[in-house]
Amino acid sequence: MVEKTKIAVLVSGGGTNLQALIDAQRAGDIKSGEIVLVISSKPDVYALTRAADAGIPAAVADRKLLGSQAAFERTLLEFLSESKIELIVLAGFLSILSEDFVKRYPNRIINVHPSLIPSFCGDGFYGLRVHEAALNYGVKVTGATVHFVNEVTDGGEIILQKAVDIKKGDTPEVLQRRVMEQAEWKILPRATELVSAAIAKEKEKLLKEQNKK
């Protein structure tokens, strides 16, 4: 039997998307993969408490303390390598990963973005800025997208999207919450399972080919 896909979740803040993944794993909605590591780019964030409460090992790669992008990514790679990570899920992870880093994990890094890509995405669009832009533009529908990560910010292949209506009187904060509840927390676990299952299938195929030799 093929082992479950080993997942690392990368975070930078409160970890609401991490919690959605933990809850989905507990409910059996994520069954082809297992979260075996949480890495935070900042110390003392609540996401680390969520990981501890769920009994998931966690590590900190402090972006400011490490000083350079190269040192930061070197530390990340060490953590990922030690835990034999096969899938990386960016869940509110606010550090941009270099092209060099991304190329080490082709189609093995996924990210959730709080808009319907290609709207309100790319460099500079993160957090409340995305929702402010949607409201300023006057769109009637927004949502969230889970996509593979490549060298272009928010530019990788789309895995899943879910639309969310914008309501009269919405503030960026109110809209952010609705997009999380109605879209992000639903499609991120679903996409994580889809990609985990694909990786597990790939491993099974390789194992069968090796056994034939």
- What lies within 8 Å, CB to CB, of 54 at 6+ separation is 22, 35
Contact 104, 77 (CB under 8 A): yes
Q: ∠ CA(151), CA(155), CA(160), 5° rounding?
A: 130
Q: How many CB atoms lie within 10 A of CB 173?
A: 11
Residue 113 appears among annotated catalytic residues = yes
User: Where are the strands (E) in 12-130, listed by range?
Assistant: 33-40, 58-60, 87-90, 109-113
Contact 10, 39 (CB under 8 A): yes
What angle in degrees, to the nearest 10, is found between the helix axes of 16-27 and 46-53?
20
Q: Per the residue annotation, which of 4, 63, 113, 131 is the catalytic one? A: 113
Radius of gyration of the chain (CA): 17
Active site amino acids: 113
